């Protein structure tokens, strides 16, 4: 049944249904979803409400329609349920507004949509009652629910009609935007090295304290967590793998042939339907002419056209395979009649057959077996570790268990934020070099508890223990003194460099050493790759010299001239920009419109009870 449904997702009806189900009508975000009793309302407006049970039915229908059919737990964890609630909100608001405006969808319009839907037609293209019923059944929809979907979609079209067709803009506006895209700035510039640290006088504590007080926000640390974790890899269990002779012999028999490399030959070829031309080609080769030069002269083919690369005997046509593989190096063969015409070949390289010795093969097979079996042991140990976690063991107790023969290291990381930044009192803020799944597990696990075992990379598995959660903190000056000094020094180096550079520029009558023309899409200036610097150049609105820091340099920039590059303003460019503007306008307006409807119809959200239900079912 699911296969039938997935086959039908090519139809317009099912595409529309999936879009409505998963994405909603517009790109309206609903913020964080928090959200007991199945009969309670999750969403309500003045004349409609949706119960927890109805919301769960929608969530289940969505996950059953996805190709990988995620479990309910996965649906909650990966956020699909948020999209479903978003979609339900939008449906409710649109239908409520349609009722308020007394809009209706005629039965004739509903029948037209049903009759035109390809999923409901028989092989002759006529509406089939049986296909209609079966399709709805496969989608988990009643006829009433499907008609409601048609009404909702129609209501949305009626409500959005005034903004949906906004696809014509004044050509002057479009041209100004294209002019902006094609703006070119002719500039003078010069690059100066940042001064050496030795030129900066060591500051007093009072100077640093003053700097700290002016920049206190810079040192603020958000809510963070301290963790410890272990990483379990198959290689941790390679010393527990035992391989007997029978396993090795069986694997050797299966894989031995894989180690043998067939002979391959690099071949040049020309093919023509004209036997006379092919014979002429051979005759000229015998007189000492170059194969590639003749191919270029007679058939207008370059070496890339004639070189077939390295081929095995089985890669060649039966008519020529034996001849080519019995030929000598640099021998020219042909013409040979094949189903493609008359072919001439030349063997230019021979890579002989290779058969490694048994010792090499057995050693390699043994290494592969160790890796394969260590993965199996890892999965066995993961089951045992889950039991230990369930019994309340912490990470130290787990790694001291007798399931490990080698020492498993415990890694500690302090002050990790929700975004994955690692904060420190005396070092620069860094980013935790782990995948999003790792950071998510840090914040989905309670303090003093262990995370579930999770996979983050290939066959590597992690367990995290949450040691502590730290409140927002503004460290005292004494705690961050080293960091304050580093920041102060960076600022002083730039100030000192700017002071020197200004004097140099004045002495040169504001003339800079180099000239260049910069376009908006340029990514570098001279040998400095810095898109941000290019953007800053296009923000300059004066003819004065401006100074920018980039790649440990101070860059002096002066705008000489601003102009528009030549371009073709054709009808296609105009239509493409119109389309982009129309989509952007529609999305922006629909967002505001739906937010307005939420306020107008007093939308109430009760996601707390839904979340409590998830917790009761051990989903989170």
pLDDT of residue 483: 93
pLDDT of residue 413: 96
pLDDT of residue 616: 59
- Please check whether residues 151 and 71 belong to one and the same domain: yes
- Please check whether residues 57 and 107 belong to one and the same domain: yes
Asked if the structure places residue 343 within a domain, the reply is yes
Strands 264-272 and 307-311: antiparallel
463-492 confidence digits (pLDDT tens): 999 999 999 999 999 999 999 999 999 999
More confident residue, 217 or 121: 217
**∠ CA 225-229-235 to the nearest 5 degrees?**
155
- Prediction pTM value: 0.53
- Domain end position, chosen among 446, 470, 494: 470
583-614 confidence digits (pLDDT tens): 666 677 777 788 888 888 888 888 777 777 76
Average pLDDT over residues 273-282: 89
- Domain end position, chosen among 564, 583, 608: 564
Residue 301 has pLDDT above 50, yes or no: yes
Indicate which CATH number applies to the domain containing 317.
3.10.50.40
Asked if the structure places residue 61 within a domain, the reply is yes
517-570 confidence digits (pLDDT tens): 999 889 889 888 888 899 999 999 999 999 999 878 999 999 999 999 888 877
- Please check whether residues 526 and 435 belong to one and the same domain: no
d(CA 361, CA 128): 63
Residue 308 has pLDDT above 90, yes or no: no
Helices 143-164/107-116 angle, 10° precision? 100
- Please check whether residues 155 and 8 belong to one and the same domain: yes
The secondary structure element, H or E, covering residue 554 is strand 553-564
Residue 12 has pLDDT above 70, yes or no: no
Average pLDDT over residues 354-378: 88
pLDDT of residue 259: 85
56-76 confidence digits (pLDDT tens): 888 877 777 776 677 777 777
Neighbour tally for 231: CB within 10 Å: 17
pLDDT of residue 164: 63
Strand order across the beta sheet in which 546-550 lies: 514-519, 183-193, 553-564, 546-550
Residue 200 has pLDDT above 90, yes or no: yes
Indicate which CATH number applies to the domain containing 417.
3.10.50
- Domain end position, chosen among 470, 490, 515: 470
pLDDT of residue 15: 42
Domain count, the chain: 4
303 pLDDT band (50/70/90 cuts)? confident
More confident residue, 127 or 396: 396
Asked if the structure places residue 585 within a domain, the reply is no
DSSP result, 427-496: S--EE--S-HHHHHHHHHS-TTSBPPPEEEETTEEEEEEEEEEEPPB---TTTTHHHHHHHHHHHHHHHH
The secondary structure element, H or E, covering residue 317 is none
Residue 281 has pLDDT above 80, yes or no: yes
**Is the separation of the CB atoms in 395 and 418 below 8 Å?**
no
Q: Token pair of 330, please?
A: 């640099």
**∠ CA 355-359-361 to the nearest 5 degrees?**
55
- Please check whether residues 214 and 347 belong to one and the same domain: no
Indicate which CATH number applies to the domain containing 53.
1.10.4030
pLDDT of residue 411: 95
Chain centroid to CA 264: 40
415 pLDDT band (50/70/90 cuts)? very high
Asked if the structure places residue 110 within a domain, the reply is yes
- Please check whether residues 383 and 430 belong to one and the same domain: yes
10 pLDDT band (50/70/90 cuts)? very low
Residue 574 has pLDDT above 80, yes or no: no
- Please check whether residues 94 and 211 belong to one and the same domain: no
334-359 confidence digits (pLDDT tens): 888 877 788 899 999 999 888 888 88
| Residue corresponding to tokens 């003045």 | 46
Q: Taking all residues of the chain, what is their mean pLDDT, rounded to a whole number?
A: 83
Asked if the structure places residue 291 within a domain, the reply is yes
d(CA 351, CA 3): 48
- Please check whether residues 599 and 544 belong to one and the same domain: no
pLDDT of residue 501: 95
- Please check whether residues 462 and 483 belong to one and the same domain: no
Closest CA to 404 of 488, 472, 327, 463: 463
Asked if the structure places residue 146 within a domain, the reply is yes
- Please check whether residues 9 and 150 belong to one and the same domain: yes
Asked if the structure places residue 583 within a domain, the reply is no
Mention every residue, 6+ apart, whose C-beta is less than 8 A from residue 163: 585, 586, 589, 590, 593
- Please check whether residues 306 and 227 belong to one and the same domain: no
- Please check whether residues 295 and 153 belong to one and the same domain: no
Domain that residue 292 falls in: 261-351
492-509 confidence digits (pLDDT tens): 999 999 999 999 999 999
Residue 207 has pLDDT above 90, yes or no: yes
The rounded percent of the chain whose pLDDT value lies above 90 is 34
Asked if the structure places residue 335 within a domain, the reply is yes
Residue 156 has pLDDT above 80, yes or no: yes
């Amino acid at each position: 049944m699911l296969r039938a449904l997935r086959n039908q997702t090519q139809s317009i009806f099912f595409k529309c249904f999936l879009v409505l189900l998963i994405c909603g009508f517009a790109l309206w975000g609903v913020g964080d979803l928090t959200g007991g009793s199945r009969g309670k309302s999750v969403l309500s407006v003045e004349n409609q409400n949706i119960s927890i049970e109805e919301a769960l039915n929608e969530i289940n229908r969505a996950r059953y329609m996805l190709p990988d059919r995620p479990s309910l737990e996965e649906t909650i964890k990966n956020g699909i349920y948020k999209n479903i609630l978003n979609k339900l909100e939008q449906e409710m608001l649109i239908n409520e507004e349609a009722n308020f405006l007394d809009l209706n969808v005629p039965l004739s319009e509903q029948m037209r949509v049903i009759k035109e839907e390809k999923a409901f037609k028989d092989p002759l293209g006529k509406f089939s009652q049986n296909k209609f019923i079966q399709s709805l059944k496969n989608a988990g929809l009643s006829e009433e629910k499907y008609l409601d979907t048609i009404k909702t979609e129609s209501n949305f079209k009626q409500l959005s009609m005034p903004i949906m067709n906004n696809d014509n803009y004044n050509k002057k506006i479009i041209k100004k935007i294209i002019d902006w895209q094609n703006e070119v700035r002719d500039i003078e510039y010069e690059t100066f090295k940042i001064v050496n640290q030795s030129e900066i006088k060591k500051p007093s504590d009072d100077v640093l304290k003053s700097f700290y007080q002016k920049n206190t926000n810079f040192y603020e640390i958000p809510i963070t967590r301290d963790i410890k974790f272990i990483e379990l890899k198959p290689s941790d269990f390679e010393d527990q793998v035992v391989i007997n002779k029978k396993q090795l012999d069986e694997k050797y028999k299966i894989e031995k042939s894989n180690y043998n490399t067939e002979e391959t030959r690099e071949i040049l070829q020309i093919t023509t339907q004209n036997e006379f031309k092919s014979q002429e080609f051979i005759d000229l080769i015998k007189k000492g002419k170059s194969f590639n030069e003749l191919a270029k002269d007679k058939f207008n083919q370059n070496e890339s056209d004639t070189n077939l690369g390295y081929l095995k005997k089985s890669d060649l046509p039966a008519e020529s395979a034996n001849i080519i593989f019995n030929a000598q190096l640099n021998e020219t063969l042909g013409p040979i009649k094949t189903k493609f015409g008359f072919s001439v070949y030349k063997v230019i390289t021979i890579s002989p057959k290779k058969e490694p010795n048994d010792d090499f093969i057995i050693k390699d097979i043994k290494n592969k077996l160790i890796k394969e079996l260590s993965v199996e042991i890892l999965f066995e140990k993961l089951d045992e570790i889950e039991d230990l976690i369930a019994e309340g063991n912490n990470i130290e107790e787990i790694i001291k268990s007798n399931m490990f023969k080698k020492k498993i290291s415990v890694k500690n990381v302090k002050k990790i934020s929700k975004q994955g930044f690692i904060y420190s009192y005396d070092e620069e803020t860094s980013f935790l070099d782990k995948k999003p799944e790792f950071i998510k597990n840090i914040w989905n696990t309670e303090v003093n508890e262990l995370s579930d075992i999770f996979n983050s990379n290939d066959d590597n598995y992690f367990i995290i223990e949450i040691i502590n959660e730290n409140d927002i903190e503004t460290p005292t000056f004494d705690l961050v003194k080293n960091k304050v000094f580093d920041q102060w020094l960076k600022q002083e180096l730039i100030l000192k460099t700017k002071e020197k550079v200004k004097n140099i520029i004045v002495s040169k009558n504001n003339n800079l050493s180099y000239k260049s023309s910069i376009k908006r899409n340029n990514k570098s200036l001279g040998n400095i790759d810095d898109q941000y610097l290019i953007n800053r150049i296009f923000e300059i609105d004066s003819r004065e010299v401006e100074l920018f820091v980039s790649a440990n340099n101070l860059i002096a920039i002066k705008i000489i001239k601003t102009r528009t590059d030549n371009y073709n303003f054709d009808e296609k460019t105009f239509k493409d920009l119109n389309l982009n503007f129309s989509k952007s306008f529609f999305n922006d307006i629909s967002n505001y419109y739906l937010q307005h409807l939420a306020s107008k119809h007093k939308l109430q959200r009760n996601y707390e009870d839904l979340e409590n239900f998830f917790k009761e079912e051990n989903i989170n």
